[in-house]
A and B are shown apart, each in its own frame.
Chain A
Amino acid sequence: MDIKEYIESGMLEAYALGALTEQERATVEADIAMYPELAAELAAIETTMHRLADEQAVPPPAFMQEQIWNALNSEAATQAPPPAPKAIPLPPADTKQRQPSWMRAAIWAAVVVSVLTNFMLLSQRNKSREEQAVLAAKVDSMSATQQELTAMVGAYKKEMDMLADPGMQTVVMRKEGDTKMAGMVYWSKDKGEAYLALHNLPMPPQGKQYQLWVIQDGKPVDMGVISNDMVTKDGMVQKIPMTVASGQAFAISIENEGGNPTPTQVYMVGATS
């Protein structure tokens, strides 16, 4: 349920102004019980009604205080509902008290049926709400999965496009004595563009990070540290932010977090062609 929309609808004001039918009242009361935001909004509305009542107060005639107190006491003594003496002759009040028993029974039956119906409707509604929440959660997780898949397909597409580019050469960096791990550099010498993808590399030890280098004229040139995020996303192709105009080899080293100006522990190397 959209709480903001509910509040904007004016339903709570209608409730506070007493403009709802019994059925509508019951529904609003159930909603208020379920959503604290609605209860808070209603409380503010009611405070407003209090102010209105305060400001519109009309002091009753002075004799009323004593008259009402006496009425309350005679009330307590007889335990019967006696309206004010002058109100007694009103026929509607009288007929109400002399309802035949079948009528009372009918009213009670109607009340019981109405209460039961309300209860059933309420529990049905609660149930469908729960079902709705479950469905919403499912849709959420599906759309998340879909986003992941779209990103993956996009990455593969990029890789394919690069491989299809005739000017693009693939440099495979290998760790000595290991055949499973590979660092792939897709390098277009003409454009100076390079892309990196990692396959099966373990996470670097705590406090360490991988760093990429290109060897130009026998000297390693820093190509930036490789985020651990990339290590996790195996096979993800990422553009290298620097221009690589020349190079005899690419290399990955293990460095302290944040990288080093010169490589200290070379991890894998791959020569260009």
Chain B
Amino acid sequence: MLLLRQQSRQGFDYLYRQYSGALYGIVCRVITDEETARDVLQEVFVKIWNNIDKFDAAKGKLYTWMLNLARNTAIDKLRSKGEKMQGKIQTGEDIVYKQEQELRTEQKTDTIGLKAIVAEMQPEYKTIVELAYFKGYTLDEISKALDIPLGTVKTRMRKAISLLRQHYNT
């Protein structure tokens, strides 16, 4: 942490060694295009580097902060690209259609790791984690896209995470 605040090369190397894989992993889950994913990763490190002194340890763990930064930056990029390409507001049906396609491609491009962990997770839980965490959908959007009540979305989120918690024993 001190090395990071000093903004030394040593600090950067440590940061990169420790976290680049995890951060790039998240970015790649959100953005499939490799070139864009690399740009986003760079943007994420710039943000971490410039905001490290603003990071409030009392508010949460450093790792959580960085993961969220990576995820949010990637989703922002996805949105700005998606909007440009589609050029229209998504309707609920569009979302479902798009999401089905995404899921199909995801099943193909799933990394071995994710498959191993989430294989035992039923699709209804997996989809919700995918939509929320990797596609940036809000509760309301997920509820509309999957046509299930808001409360069910939340309880499935709880169930999904608790399955992961069991898996990792956390």
**Chain A residues packing against B (C-beta within 8 Å):** 8-11, 13-14, 16-21, 24, 43-61, 64-65, 67-69, 71-72, 75-76, 81, 83-84, 86-87, 90-93
Interface residues of B in 25-81 (CB under 8 A from A): 25-26, 28-29, 35, 38-39, 41-43, 45-46, 49-50, 60-61, 63-64, 67-68, 71-72, 75, 80-81
- Residues of chain A contacted by B26 (CB below 8 angstroms): 53, 56
Does B113 count as interface, using CB distance less than 8 angstroms? Answer: yes
**Measured CA separation A55–B159 after assembly (Å):** 20
CB distance from B49 to the nearest CB of A (A): 5
- Residues of chain A contacted by B68 (CB below 8 angstroms): 18
CB distance from B156 to the nearest CB of A (A): 7
Q: Is the CB of A13 within 8 A of B161?
A: yes
Q: Is the CB of B142 within 8 A of A19?
A: yes
Starting from the known contacts A47-B170, A56-B25, A72-B45, 10 additional A-B residue pairs (CB-CB under 8 Å) come to A13-B154, A13-B158, A18-B132, A18-B133, A53-B67, A56-B113, A59-B24, A64-B20, A75-B49, A83-B46
- Residues of chain A contacted by B83 (CB below 8 angstroms): 92
- Residues of chain A contacted by B28 (CB below 8 angstroms): 58
Pick the residue among B46, B64, B139, B161 that contacts A20 (CB under 8 A). Answer: B139
Q: Is the CB of A14 within 8 A of B117?
A: no
> How many inter-chain residue pairs (CB < 8 Å) link A and B?
162
Interface residues of B in 1-40 (CB under 8 A from A): 7, 9, 12-13, 16, 20-22, 24-26, 28-29, 35, 38-39
Q: Is the CB of A53 within 8 A of B165?
A: no
CB distance from B169 to the nearest CB of A (A): 9
Q: Is the CB of B111 within 8 A of A56?
A: yes
Q: Is the CB of B132 within 8 A of A19?
A: yes
Could you give 27 example pairs across A and B, Cβ below 8 Å? Answer: A8-B155, A9-B154, A10-B153, A10-B155, A10-B158, A14-B154, A17-B133, A19-B133, A19-B142, A19-B153, A20-B138, A45-B165, A50-B63, A51-B170, A52-B164, A56-B113, A57-B25, A59-B20, A60-B38, A64-B20, A68-B42, A69-B16, A72-B12, A72-B45, A75-B46, A83-B42, A92-B80
**Chain B residues packing against A (C-beta within 8 Å):** 7, 9, 12-13, 16, 20-22, 24-26, 28-29, 35, 38-39, 41-43, 45-46, 49-50, 60-61, 63-64, 67-68, 71-72, 75, 80-81, 83-84, 111, 113-114, 116-117, 129, 132-133, 136-140, 142, 151, 153-161, 164-165, 168, 170
User: Given A56-B26, A65-B20, A69-B9, A46–B43 Cβ distance below 8 Å?
Assistant: no
CB distance from B71 to the nearest CB of A (A): 6
Minimal Cβ-Cβ distance residue in A for B28: A58
**Measured CA separation A45–B61 after assembly (Å):** 12
Q: Is the CB of B111 within 8 A of A67?
A: no
Minimal Cβ-Cβ distance residue in A for B166: A48
User: Given A60-B41, A75-B50, A18–B20 Cβ distance below 8 Å?
Assistant: no
Q: Is the CB of B22 within 8 A of A56?
A: yes
User: Given A18-B72, A53-B67, A86–B35 Cβ distance below 8 Å?
Assistant: yes
Q: Is the CB of A9 within 8 A of B158?
A: yes
**Measured CA separation A20–B157 after assembly (Å):** 12
CB distance from B101 to the nearest CB of A (A): 21
Q: Is the CB of A10 within 8 A of B49?
A: no
Minimal Cβ-Cβ distance residue in A for B75: A18
Minimal Cβ-Cβ distance residue in B for A24: B139
Q: Is the CB of B46 within 8 A of A44?
A: no
**Measured CA separation A14–B26 after assembly (Å):** 17
User: Given A59-B24, A60-B21, A14–B139 Cβ distance below 8 Å?
Assistant: yes
